[in-house]
Each structure stands twice: as structure tokens, then as C-alpha cells.
């Protein structure tokens, strides 16, 4: 039997049921299923917010950008803004969920979490978080999320909730999975700027010189920083981001290779095909066919 290709990526916006919830919502997987309906969780999603889930009951496989994560009780999953993820058997699992917009957490906390290693994991198995303060921080977060204070106290409630979410993220950053290849702490702010600019501009800029001009550093400096933090040259970091997006579009939609090439800043589909093949090891068409087989 031939397996059909997955449905197109469905964008999901942060849309809490009431305005008083603000930029952070705390709920359960059960509540999320009831509110949205199971059909909402069948197709790949791209969130415009962050989602952190703790598994209390059941098991399932959750896919984030082509990596399968086997979830079990005690595990924590963090899907970040812009990542493409797909639920497995969501009806088989339950636990608390926190949804929050990127600007809900203060910049200082976000920078600290991003700077701990050169990449952030999506999955923390129970054995990793066991013995850490993560459980206590979850308890604080859930208690804060149950408050329904209105009026002039609402900003105070929101501030406490934001601090609780920030504490959860920082504690997770401190107990990274041992098997994750996270690299050294990203201590140089220019590297963080470069990494952020890649996320913003990868569909327009494919050359290190373009990022160097934007950031005010020489290409040589960006390459040195990339090598120091990841062991890979700056150009490879750009290419990896372009190829990741290409794989998302090829796997989760029916857009032609020519259309995808245009979306990713290539003026000639043949140039895109050659670019993709040299970096992914097969042509865009072959990659798509492999996913549909």
C-alpha cells in the first residue's frame, strides 16, 4: 500500500478563550482536546507561540521537525514558536500544558535560556528532570494558572505567571538531556544575533556576507564565532536552516518544487534542486517521494 503524503502545515495562532487570560494560558491536554476537537490534532502544525507539556499519564510519539520523541509519564516536551510538530495519539496522554507568546517572557530570561548551549532540546525524559526543581516549578506554575484575579490585580497575576513560566524554562535549561549535543554556552552576543538573523532572513539571504553587513561584523568574525559555538562554519548554519524549511515544505504540502524554490529565495528551480541535493544527499523530488512511500 502506498502511503499518501502528509497534509499541509496548519498555522495555529495563540487564541485563548477569553481576553483576561493574557499572553499565557495554563490548561490540560484533556481540556485542549475538548476545546479544539480531535480533528485539530491530526495534521502537522506550526505554532505562533510556545507550548510546554508535562506527561502525567499515557504514552505517545510526538514529532518535532522530523525527530520522533517517545513521550512517557514524567517527560516534558517544549515546542517552540515556528517549529513544525505533529501529535501522535493525543487521546492517549494527559498532563498540564502552558501556552505562551514569545514576548510573554522577559528578554533577559529568554536570552539566558537561549545562551545555554547552541541549540535547545524539545524533549526532557523523566529520568533527566527527576531530582531537579522542575516538579516544584510546575506546581507553582499550575497554582498561578488557576488564579482568576481580575480588575487592578490582573497585571500582578500576569507578572507572577510570567515569572513562573520563566522559572520553568530556566530550570529546563539547567537539566538538559545528557545525550543532547548542545555545544558550549553561547556567551558572545554576536553569535546570538547571527543565529536570530538566520531565523528571520534565511528565505532572503543565503550568503554570510549579507548577514555580516547586517550585523556590522566581518564574514571572518561570523565564521569564527560559528566554529567556536557549533563546530560548523557560518555558511553551513545558514544552509541547515534553508534545508530544514525546504524539508518541511516538501514533506507537509503539495507546493511544486518551483514554488518552494521561490519561497526560499531561489530564482531558478534548478539551482534550488542542485543546492538541496548537495546538502541533503538527494533531490527535492526524491526526498518528497521517500516521505510518501
Report the share of the chain in percent with pLDDT over 70.
89
Domain ranges in the chain?
A: 10-174, 189-292
Cα atoms in the 13 Å half-sphere on the side-chain side of 176: 19
CATH architecture entry for 189-292:
Orthogonal Bundle (1.10)
Q: Position of cell 516549578?
A: 137
Contacts of 270 (CB under 8 A, 6+ apart): none
Upper half-sphere CA count for residue 87 (Cβ side, 13 Å): 20
C-alpha cell at 193: 544575533
For a pLDDT cut of 90, what percent of the chain falls above it? 67
pLDDT score of 244 more than 50: yes
pLDDT in tens, 76-85: 999 999 999 9
Structure confidence by residue, pLDDT tens digits, 210-242: 999 999 999 999 999 999 888 899 999 999 999
Q: What is the pLDDT, as a whole number, of residue 99?
A: 96
Please determine whether the domains at 10-174 and 189-292 fall in the same fold group of CATH. no
CATH class for the domain made up of 10-174: mainly beta
User: Under a CB-based contact definition with an 8 Å cutoff, are residues 119 and 240 in contact?
Assistant: no
Q: Is pLDDT at 107 greater than 90 in this prediction? A: no
Amino acid at each position: 500500500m502506498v502511503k499518501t503524503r502528509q497534509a499541509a502545515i496548519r498555522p495555529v495562532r495563540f487564541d485563548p478563550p477569553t481576553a483576561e487570560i493574557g499572553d499565557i494560558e495554563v490548561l490540560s491536554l484533556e481540556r485542549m482536546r475538548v476545546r479544539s476537537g480531535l480533528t485539530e490534532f491530526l495534521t502537522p502544525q506550526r505554532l505562533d507561540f510556545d507550548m510546554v507539556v508535562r506527561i502525567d499519564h499515557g504514552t505517545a510519539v510526538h514529532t518535532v521537525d522530523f525527530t520522533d520523541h517517545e513521550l512517557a509519564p514524567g517527560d516534558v516536551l517544549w515546542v517552540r514558536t515556528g517549529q513544525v510538530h505533529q501529535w501522535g495519539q493525543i487521546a492517549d496522554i494527559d498532563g498540564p500544558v502552558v501556552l505562551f507568546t514569545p514576548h510573554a517572557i522577559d528578554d533577559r530570561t529568554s536570552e539566558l535560556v537561549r545562551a545555554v548551549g547552541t541549540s535547545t532540546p524539545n524533549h526532557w525524559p523523566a529520568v533527566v528532570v527527576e531530582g531537579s526543581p522542575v516538579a516544584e516549578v510546575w506546581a507553582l506554575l499550575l497554582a498561578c494558572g488557576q488564579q482568576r484575579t481580575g480588575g487592578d490585580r490582573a497585571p500582578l497575576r500576569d507578572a507572577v505567571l510570567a515569572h513562573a513560566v520563566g522559572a520553568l524554562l530556566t530550570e529546563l535549561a539547567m537539566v538538559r538531556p545528557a545525550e543532547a549535543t548542545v555545544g558550549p554556552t553561547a556567551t558572545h552576543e554576536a553569535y546570538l544575533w547571527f543565529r536570530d538573523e538566520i531565523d528571520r532572513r534565511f528565505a532572503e539571504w543565503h550568503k554570510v556576507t549579507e548577514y555580516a553587513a547586517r550585523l556590522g561584523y566581518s564574514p571572518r568574525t561570523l565564521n569564527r564565532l560559528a566554529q567556536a559555538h557549533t563546530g560548523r562554519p557560518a555558511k553551513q548554519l545558514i544552509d541547515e536552516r534553508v534545508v530544514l524549511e525546504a524539508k518541511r515544505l516538501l514533506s507537509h504540502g503539495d507546493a511544486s518544487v518551483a514554488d518552494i524554490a521561490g519561497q526560499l529565495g531561489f530564482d531558478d528551480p534548478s539551482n534550488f534542486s542542485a543546492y538541496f541535493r548537495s546538502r541533503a544527499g538527494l533531490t527535492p523530488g526524491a526526498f518528497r517521494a521517500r516521505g510518501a512511500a
